Amino acid sequence: MALPPLSAEQRQAALKKAAEVRTKRAEMRKKIESGSLKIADVLKKADDPIVGKAKVSYWLKAVPGLGTAKVAKLMEEFQIAENRRVQGLGSRQMSALIERLG
């Protein structure tokens, strides 16, 4: 399905909104990396578009001690597809991640 054509103003507004979302995600990710924000608190905000529309692996890789290999292993263990977004996690998957990562 083709996207509808946007006016120049609509395009600029969409680009500005996307940049704001990326900035907020980066700020949250830095807080996770520094330890001032727990991954469990982030995952519980699945209904927030800033958190929910990002991939699970994006957030998990910010956890200190978890790299690409450990994240892949963890996601496989909980049967989470690599392209799954936070808002698409099942309740069991969410609970398991929160329990494991605190």
Rg (the chain; Cα; Å) = 15
What token pair was written down for 28? Answer: 């949250």
Q: In the predicted model, what is the mean pLDDT of residues 27-44?
A: 94
- Indicate the pTM of the whole model: 0.85
88 in a structural domain: yes
pLDDT at res. 58? 95
64 in a structural domain: yes
68 in a structural domain: yes
54 SS3 class:
coil
76 in a structural domain: yes
As a residue count, the chain comes to 102
Looking at every residue in the chain, the average pLDDT score rounds to 93
63 in a structural domain: yes
30 in a structural domain: yes
Cβ atoms of 42 and 32 within 8 Å: the answer is yes
Total domain count, the chain: 1
Domain containing 59 — which CATH number? Answer: 1.10.8.50
7 in a structural domain: no
24 in a structural domain: yes
pLDDT at 69 over 80: yes
Q: In the predicted model, what is the mean pLDDT of residues 11-31?
A: 96
User: What share of the chain in percent tops pLDDT 90?
Assistant: 88
